């Protein structure tokens, strides 16, 4: 479904449904009060943002280590691969929803209601920022502990009164710390209004680092040769990755294609021992082909759609650096040492920056960031001056020290 369609359904169906479910739960609690079960199995819900599954991992690790709980996860089917990157959630403990159309979504929602009871989930943590749909899923889960963000007196969406642990979303700290605050709410031995009244240190924002074998790297080099042909020789080329697109969820995050092309030309001119791979989803192949045709250099290769999501960490391990819009790859690379340069516009790196070896580029215009939890991540902007303000020379200047630090490989 289109993003705006999903937003409309979430609003017009979500408001009455969350209100009705609130009344049902209140009546049920009054008639049949239940004792809380021991905290053993936690379900995390995060549907739409693949990058957020990486940003949530420190919270997941804290739940696993300090609560000794078995972890489960609910996510949109198309985003399932993002959970495989860290491996924190066992594959058997992942439930998915197909969002292609409303019928499939309804069918899978019913299946979820059965799945969550079959797995005896006692705690649900809703990681979404004020989504009514995930609030409903949390409410119908049957869990005795339901943790989520609550607006209190702040601007925010009506989500009913379905939570047992209301956490104050703090728009002044990184989202990864907000996620950890939800686990702290479960660790607190007394009720707080609001949760969570604890300081979260930067040292808690630790991600597991991906390790690949020599065989994995050899296979990756073989895959690159399939696309680059004789233009790539692993002993003669450093790999520079360019990820020029972003999802349809927020098209305002895109830096201009012509600027990526100019940046690629500068990189290729600077280092004759560099091969540039344009990465992206299969649907971006045509645009990448056009970029390569305009650049007219055999060392610029269209690599879009070449890899599964689970294979990206191997590519990132073998590459020298990456430039990307504010999108999933900027977070996926954080489980590797890859120097990553991320272009921010409608979002701010202060709240959504990568937890890895990442350098944000952010113009900091007065109107930016223009999306937040309060506006359901929907901006009226149709002219992203925030990204237009970032020039090719600025990006090239920032990445040049990394580029120049690469060992020189003599060319034949």
Average pLDDT, the chain: 92
Rounded Cα–Cα distance for residues 370 and 375 (Å): 9
- The structure tokens 């590797």 sit at 336
Which of 379, 349, 387 is closest to 258 using CA atoms? 387
**Averaged over 215-225, what is the pLDDT?**
95
| 239 plus 323 within the same structural domain | yes
The CATH number linked to 76 is 3.40.50.2000
Q: Which residue's entry shows tokens 């408001």?
A: 15
Residues, the chain: 412
Q: How confident is the model at residue 137 (pLDDT cuts 50, 70, 90)?
A: very high
Q: Is residue 410 part of a domain?
A: no
Last residue of a domain, one of 153, 182, 204: 204
User: What pLDDT score does 109 carry?
Assistant: 96
Is 181 in the same domain as 261?
A: no
Looking at residues 152-165, what average pLDDT do you find?
87
Determine the 3-state secondary structure of 112 from DSSP. helix
Q: Does 42 map to a domain?
A: yes
Residue 41: inside a domain: yes
Is residue 185 pLDDT above 70, yes or no? yes
For the segment 45-66, the average pLDDT, to the nearest whole number, is 94
Residues 105, 6: Cα–Cα separation, whole Å: 11
Distance (Å, whole) CA 76 – CA 74: 7
Domain count, the chain: 2
Digit-coded pLDDT (tens) for 252-291: 889 999 999 999 999 999 999 999 999 999 989 999 999 9
Average pLDDT of 396-407? 96
- Residue 411 domain flag: no
Q: Is residue 145 part of a domain?
A: yes
52: phi > 0 → left, psi -120 to 50 → alpha, else beta; which?
alpha
Is residue 134 helix, strand or coil? helix
Alpha helices (runs of H) in 126-200, residue ranges in sequence order: 132-140, 175-187
Q: Give the pLDDT mean for 112-120.
A: 97
Of 204, 235, 265, which residue is a domain's last? 204
pLDDT digits (tens, 9 = 90+) for 73-92: 999 999 999 999 999 999 99
Query: Does 63 share its domain with 107?
Result: yes
Question: What is the pTM assigned to this prediction?
Answer: 0.92
| 151 & 228 share domain | no
67, pLDDT greater than 90: yes
Q: Are 51 and 176 part of one and the same domain?
A: yes
For residues 189 and 237, state if they share a domain.
no
Range of the domain at 264: 214-405
What b/e readout covers 167-199, taking b as 16+ CB neighbours within 10 angstroms?
bbbbbeebbbbbbbbbbbbbeeeeeeebbbeee
Q: With contact defined as beta carbons under 8 Å apart, do 69 and 42 qualify?
A: yes
Does 270 lie in the same domain as 168?
A: no
Residue 412 inside a domain? The answer is no
**Co-location of 159 and 245 in the same domain:** no
Domain shared by 175 and 222, yes or no: no
* Residue 209 maps to a domain: no
Residues 319, 223 contacting (CB under 8 angstroms): no
């Amino acid at each position: 479904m289109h993003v705006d369609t999903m937003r409309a359904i979430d609003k017009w169906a979500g408001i009455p449904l969350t209100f009705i479910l609130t009344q049902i739960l209140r009546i049920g609690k009054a008639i049949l009060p239940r004792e809380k079960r021991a905290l053993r199995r936690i379900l995390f819900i995060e549907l739409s943002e693949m990058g957020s599954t990486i940003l949530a991992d420190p919270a997941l690790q804290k739940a696993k280590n300090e609560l000794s709980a078995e972890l489960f996860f609910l996510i949109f089917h198309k985003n399932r691969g993002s959970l495989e990157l860290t491996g924190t959630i066992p594959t058997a403990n992942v439930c998915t929803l197909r969002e292609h159309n409303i019928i499939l979504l309804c069918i899978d929602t019913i299946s979820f209601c059965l799945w969550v009871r079959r797995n005896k989930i006692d705690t649900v943590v809703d990681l979404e920022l004020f989504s009514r749909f995930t609030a409903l899923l949390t409410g119908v889960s049957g869990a005795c502990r339901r943790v989520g963000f609550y607006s209190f007196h702040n601007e925010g969406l009506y989500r009913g009164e379905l939570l047992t642990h209301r956490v104050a979303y703090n728009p002044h700290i990184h989202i990864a710390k907000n996620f950890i605050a939800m686990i702290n709410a479960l660790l607190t031995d007394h009720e707080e209004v609001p949760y969570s009244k604890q300081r979260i240190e930067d040292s808690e924002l630790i991600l597991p680092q991906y390790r690949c074998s020599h065989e994995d790297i050899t296979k990756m080099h073989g895959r690159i040769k399939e696309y680059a042909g004789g233009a790539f020789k692993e002993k003669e080329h450093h790999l520079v990755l360019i990820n020029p697109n972003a999802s349809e969820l927020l098209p305002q995050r895109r830096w201009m294609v012509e600027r990526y092309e100019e940046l690629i030309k500068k990189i290729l001119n600077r280092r004759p021992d560099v091969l540039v791979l344009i990465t992206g989803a299969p649907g971006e192949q045509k645009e990448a082909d056009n970029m390569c045709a305009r650049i007219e250099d055999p060392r610029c290769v269209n690599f879009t759609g070449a890899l599964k999501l689970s294979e990206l960490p191997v590519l990132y391990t073998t590459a020298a650096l990456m430039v990307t819009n504010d999108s999933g790859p900027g977070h996926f690379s954080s489980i590797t040492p890859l120097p990553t340069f991320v272009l921010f516009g409608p979002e701010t790196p202060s709240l959504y920056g990568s937890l890895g070896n990442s350098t944000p580029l952010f113009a900091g215009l007065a109107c930016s960031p223009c999306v937040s939890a309060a506006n359901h991540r929907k901006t009226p902007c149709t002219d992203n001056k925030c990204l237009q303000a970032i020039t090719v020379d600025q990006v090239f200047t920032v990445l040049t020290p990394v580029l120049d630090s690469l060992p020189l490989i003599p060319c034949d």
